[in-house]
Each structure stands twice: as structure tokens, then as C-alpha cells.
Amino acid sequence: MKPDIIAHLVQILKDSPELGAIEVRRGLFGIWSSVRVSKAGHSNTGHLLVTAPSPGGSFVPGPTVAAPAGGGSVPLAGGAAGAAAPASQLLEIKSPMVGTFYKSPEPGSEAYAKVGSRVSVGQVVCIIEAMKIMNEIESEVQGVVREVCVDNAQPVEFGQVLFRVDPNA
């Protein structure tokens, strides 16, 4: 991974206090296959971890930078219609980045989360593609998806509501 890309990821982490960690993983044949983004206070390390390939093809931990403390909450889960709970009781899962929203891992496969789906903390609810990297977005809440606010393959902005989840269902 090039130093300018690492610097860009570090800047994203500094500019987004609700993010706790960004982890980049390498797939087969040296292709970067996934990026995992965690909320502040929900990451295992509380640090930015960037992995890069070594000459032998194995993972080498990149620079570790302290993540901003605290930060707002960005619940990550699935959405569905059906107002079983007042809108004020629904938790919103917002986009942690600008990119393209995908409801499933590949075209034609089942959606990670849809209206009526039960989601739990840590469960992948969608993918956001940013800079040709597929970022798995995990739920930070548990409950039943009451609304999906974004269409498949639609561009999303940072902080845009993706799902509304009823934590009491």
C-alpha cells in the first residue's frame, strides 16, 4: 500500500471522531479485498491498523495511529418499513463515508439486511464502495430493521441514514 493512501486513511480517521479504527485487508494475488471501519469505542484496539503486503506475500502491520477519543455514535444495522415503533425510538445506521451503497456481497445474492431482518451487533449489514475498495459496514446495534433508506448501487454521503432499526423489537 502506498504511503499517500495510508496518509489519506489517517486523515479520514482524524477528521471523523465517530470512527475508531480502519483496517485494510489483502486478498488473493495481492489485491486489496476489504476495508473494515469501526466506531470509536467499538474497535478492539482503538487504533488505526493498516495492513500491507510484505515482499513474501504475508501481512505486515502498518503504522498505528491513536484514534480520536469519544465521538458521536453511528449505529450500523439494516432497515425496513413498518412503523412498529415511533420514529424517535428507531436507531439510525449512518454511512461512515462517501461511496456507493450495496445491499449484498454480489449482484443477485441475498441482501445482508432488509425490512424485517433481525440484526445483531457486529453483523455486516451492507457494503459501501469507496475508492474501488469494498467496505463492510457492521451493525453497532441489535434489533429489527424497520426501514432501508437507500436503494442498491446509490451514491451515499458521509452521515447519510442507511437504515432505521427498532431496538425494542
Strand order in the sheet with 118-119: 91-94, 161-166, 143-148, 118-119
- Write down the pLDDT at residue 54: 34
Q: What is the pLDDT of residues 52-63, one digit of tens each?
A: 333 333 333 333
pLDDT above 90 (res 101) = yes
**Are 95 and 158 found together in one domain?**
yes
The percent of residues in the chain predicted with pLDDT above 70, rounded, is: 57
Summary count for the chain: helices (H), strands (E): 1, 12
The boundaries of the domain holding residue 124 are 87-166
What pTM value is reported for the model? Answer: 0.51
**Are 92 and 41 found together in one domain?**
no
E strands in 46-157: 47-53, 59-66, 91-94, 99-102, 118-119, 124-130, 133-138, 143-148, 155-156
Question: Is 79 a member of any domain?
Answer: no
**Are 106 and 48 found together in one domain?**
no
What band does 48 get if pLDDT is binned at 50, 70 and 90?
very low
Q: Within 10 A of 157 (CB to CB), how many other CB atoms are there?
A: 10
**Are 141 and 102 found together in one domain?**
yes
C-alpha cell belonging to residue 144: 429489527
Q: Supply the CATH number for residue 136's domain.
A: 2.40.50.100
Least confident piece of the model among 55-59, 100-104, 129-133? 55-59
Over range 97-112, report the average pLDDT.
94
Question: Is 74 a member of any domain?
Answer: no
Question: Is 47 a member of any domain?
Answer: yes
Per DSSP, what are the bridge partners of residue 153? Answer: none
| DSSP 8-class letter at 3 | H
Q: How many domains does the chain have?
A: 2
What band does 38 get if pLDDT is binned at 50, 70 and 90?
low
**Are 62 and 93 found together in one domain?**
no
Question: Is 81 a member of any domain?
Answer: no
Dihedral, CA atoms, 88, 127, 101, 117, nearest 10 degrees?
-40
pLDDT above 70 (res 44) = no
